[in-house]
Structure 1
Amino acid sequence: MLPLTYWDIHDPRVLEAIRIVPRERFVPPELQQEAEEDRPLPIGQGQTISQPYIVAYMTEVLRVDSENRVLEIGTGSGYQAAVLSLVAKEVYSVERIGNLAMAARERLKTLGYGNIHVRHGDGSSGWPESAPFDRIMITAAVKSEPPALVEQLRPGGFMVFPQGGRRVQYLVRITKDAQGSCARESLVPVVFVPFVRGIL
């Protein structure tokens, strides 16, 4: 079983979501025995499922509440979306790799996560027809935040994403005020696969 507590994760809803989402269902069959380990694992197509601690940390610092509509860029296996779905009202998740998007959509449906919508598309474009979003999370490292995503963030909302190159990345949180101005803060060093535009 995954850890029930982390020393700096305090939101009980986040900890409960990490506890009950079956991570072994989001990894390839040959890696299911390793799913309870707190480390990233490969999921194919050059992508990874993040370690549970990072999923918990990003979810907590996004400050999600039960009335929030969340946009996630980078569905991957669907694990982060599943965790978000237990603390948010709705999750809209965009994946650029068609095979991963299709597999994640079917997996999440099978597991009963009815408030998650998965789209195969270019994450840099977001999901404009369902915007604005209360919270936005990017799960791949960007050089700078895509302008379309900032535009789709509701005033008063938060956006969290890793920023940097292959060697140095930091998790960044943007807070958008009522006038549409954004304040940035760097949180912790992280390692993510790079953000790529376009679709496969």
Structure 2
Amino acid sequence: MFGYTFYWSMVWEKLPELIEGAKATLLLTVTSMVIGTLVALALSLLRRQQSGIGLHISTGWIEVARNTPALFQIYMIYFGLGAVGLHLSSFTAMLIALSFNNAGFLAEIFRGGLQSIPKQQYVAARSLGIGSFQAYTHVVFPQLFRVVYFPYINQLNWALLNSSLGMVIGLRELTGATQAAQSESFRTFEFFIVAAVLYYALSKAIQLGARLSFWRWVKE
């Protein structure tokens, strides 16, 4: 229709590189979510305080993470720290930036979830002689993750898509690998169509896995 001829053979030759990029994307996504989750749990608890430095730290973190572009955060980690002599690899910088962003959004998700859990649950656990840390990990947090399960999965999916920004600092995740491959052949449509299909497949796999996991969890 537009006089464009598709040449898919070039894409198939570079497909192993795109698959490697997809693996890097998954590693970055999962690792940043694990780190982000741990930090977010701490931030959400600190945010519940009435005063103190912990409240200010958590509030500042959440405000910056949620109200500045993720691309800005990546630049600040990669180029900003580099300007003061701290040079990080593209993967490390992207992991820190994405974990920072995830933690900010997850902290608010967790805070909302914690507000829906009666405080008597924690008090009752403490009255039985259970320590504060154990009360949270064995009583409060299991209930919390049931409440925020699907918003959490949405953030996981968002982290997957945000990982594509790693391309701007030279990271060879899926988008970076795709950009590098198409720059050698100039077959933009073919390569980015395949990349879009891979992103879609990864995203739908996450959603399907989440629904199956939740169904099994509820049935237990």
Higher relative contact order, chain-length normalized (CA < 8 Å, sep 6+): 2
Instruction: Specify if TM > 0.5.
Output: no
TM-score range, shorter chain: under 0.3
Bigger proportion of residues as helix: 2
